[in-house]
Amino acid sequence: MTGEQERLRFARALDVGTIARSGYGLSVRCTNSKCGHTRIVDAQPLFDLCRAKGWNMHLDHMMNRLKCSRCGAKWPLLKATAQPPDSGPALGPTTDEEWKRLVRRARG
Ligand SMILES: [Zn+2]
């Protein structure tokens, strides 16, 4: 695949489900110009979180749910990426224990 085709594929991956299924990472970039903190997270745990909570998975809606872990600014810029997740904490459940807690909360 050429770089251009690859770029278009990422540009078309506009919901967390598609990104998780494709095995892409999710780039989360703070839009506060004084901060600019960027993370690459695994899309799968975030997809699980959306499913458990019944959230809309389109990236435009996800922006509304997330905020910068460094400065707290809302509306980070979300984008599919080929880069592997960074070593920071995942967004969403990654262990059975976290899953159980999440499902309990979602029901209660
Ligand atoms: Zn920030």
**What spacing in Å lies between the alpha carbon of 48 and ligand 1's midpoint?**
24
Q: How far is the CA of 62 from the centre of ligand 1 (A)?
A: 16
Residue 60 backbone dihedrals phi, psi, to 5 degrees: -60, -30
How far apart are the C-alpha atoms of 85 and 53, rounded to whole Å? 23
Instruction: Give me ligand 1 centre to Cα 74, in Å.
Output: 8
Quote the pLDDT of residue 3.
Answer: 86
| Domain map (residue ranges) of the chain | 3-107
Taking the centre of ligand 1 as the mean of its atom positions, its distance from the CA of residue 41, in whole angstroms, is: 15
Measured CA to CA, the distance from residue 78 to residue 28 in angstroms comes to 5
CA distance 82 to 1: 13
| 107 C-alpha to ligand 1 centroid (Å) | 31
What's the gap in Å between 1 CA and the centre of ligand 1? 34
Q: What's the confidence (pLDDT) of residue 107? A: 66
CA 32 to chain centre: 18
Measure 42 CA to ligand 1 centroid, in angstroms: 19
Q: Tens digit of pLDDT per residue, the chain (108 long)?
A: 688 988 888 889 999 999 999 999 999 999 999 999 999 999 999 999 999 999 999 999 999 999 999 999 999 999 999 999 999 999 999 999 999 998 887 765
